């Protein structure tokens, strides 16, 4: 049975005791002092074995996961066209708008007025010595591109406009480029 070894303990104990009792005191002292070093050496060997087993296990798991990831990538690439997948909504890129000299001049004047102040096509036409209809077209172009904001509708036929935050940012970027060039 499994408990048979318990019956041999009294005999083994008496043999160990008789051996220890017959030994000299110096032998027992040397064995007693050497026993902790032997125990530490055995512990050190077992720790090294445990570290090696753990390193082997971790290396095997890592290599297996890397191999599986490589196979997954290969399948996705190989069969990606065949498998159904969601299509994201394609966003059209923003159209590129070219601002002419009049548009830049209008935004410069609006930027010098400061935030919250507005200007209309008639006032700008007087400054540029142009027809108000030409300046109004420039203001409408800037409004459609969100550089200027329509503020107040006047009875004279010309609306008042002010620079938006996007227009301020554009003018700041434009000024930096102009100063660095």
| pLDDT for the residue numbered 2 | 72
Domain span at 62: 15-77
Mean pLDDT of 4-26: 78
List, for residues 100-110, the tens digit of each pLDDT value. 888 888 888 88
Does residue 139 lie in a domain region?
yes
Question: Helix, strand, or coil here: 162?
Answer: strand
pTM: 0.46
User: How high is the pLDDT of residue 38?
Assistant: 92
Residue 21 and residue 64 in one domain = yes
For CA atoms 17, 20, 25, 30, the dihedral sign is negative
Same domain, 106 and 35: no
With respect to residue 44, please indicate whether it lies within any of the assigned structural domains: yes
User: What is the total count of domains within the chain?
Assistant: 2
Flag whether pLDDT at 3 surpasses 80. no
Sorting pLDDT into bands at 50, 70 and 90, what band is 95? low
Number of neighbours of residue 158 by Cβ within 10 angstroms: 20
Locate tokens 């070894």: which residue?
5
Do 71 and 115 share a domain, yes or no?
no
Give the span between the Cα atoms of 42 and 168, in whole angstroms: 77
Q: Report the candidate in 124, 128, 120 with the shortest Cα–Cα distance to residue 157.
A: 120
Question: Which residues neighbour 121 within 8 Å (Cβ) at sequence distance 6 or greater?
Answer: 132, 133, 135, 136, 139, 158, 159
- Give the tens place of pLDDT for each residue, 11-20: 887 887 787 7
Query: What is the mean pLDDT of the segment spanning 41-61?
Result: 96
Could you tell me what percent of the chain has a pLDDT over 90? Answer: 20
- Residues 60, 22, single domain; the answer is yes
Statement to judge: residues 148 and 114 lie in one domain: yes
pLDDT band at 45 (very low <50, low <70, confident <90, very high): very high
User: Do 110 and 70 lie in a common domain?
Assistant: no
User: Would 69 be classed as within a structural domain?
Assistant: yes
Straight-line distance from the first to the last Cα atom of the chain, in angstroms, rounded to the nearest whole number: 97
What's the pLDDT at 65?
A: 94
Nearest to 134 by CA among 103, 175, 97, 159: 103
- Say yes or no to pLDDT of 61 above 60: yes
For residues 141-147, average pLDDT: 88
Task: State how far the Cα of 150 lies from the Cα of 120, in Å rounded to an integer.
Answer: 10
- The mean pLDDT value of the chain amounts to 83
Residue 21's pLDDT band (boundaries 50, 70, 90)? confident
């Amino acid at each position: 049975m499994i408990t048979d070894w318990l019956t041999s303990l009294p005999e083994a104990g008496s043999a160990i005791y008789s051996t220890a009792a017959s030994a000299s005191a110096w032998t027992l002292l040397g064995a007693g002092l050497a026993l902790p070093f032997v125990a530490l050496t055995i512990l050190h060997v077992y720790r090294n074995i445990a570290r090696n087993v753990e390193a082997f296990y971790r290396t095997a798991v890592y290599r297996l996961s890397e191999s599986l990831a490589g196979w997954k990538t290969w399948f996705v690439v190989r069969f990606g066209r065949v498998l159904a997948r969601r299509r994201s909504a394609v966003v059209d890129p923003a159209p590129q708008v070219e601002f002419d000299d009049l548009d830049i001049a209008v935004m410069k004047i609006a930027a010098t007025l400061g935030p919250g102040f507005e200007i209309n096509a008639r006032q700008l036409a007087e400054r540029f010595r142009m027809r108000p209809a030409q300046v109004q077209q420039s203001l409408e172009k800037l409004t459609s591109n969100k550089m200027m904001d329509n503020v107040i509708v006047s009875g004279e036929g010309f609306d008042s406009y002010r620079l938006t935050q996007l227009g301020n940012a554009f003018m700041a970027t434009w000024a930096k480029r102009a100063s660095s060039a």
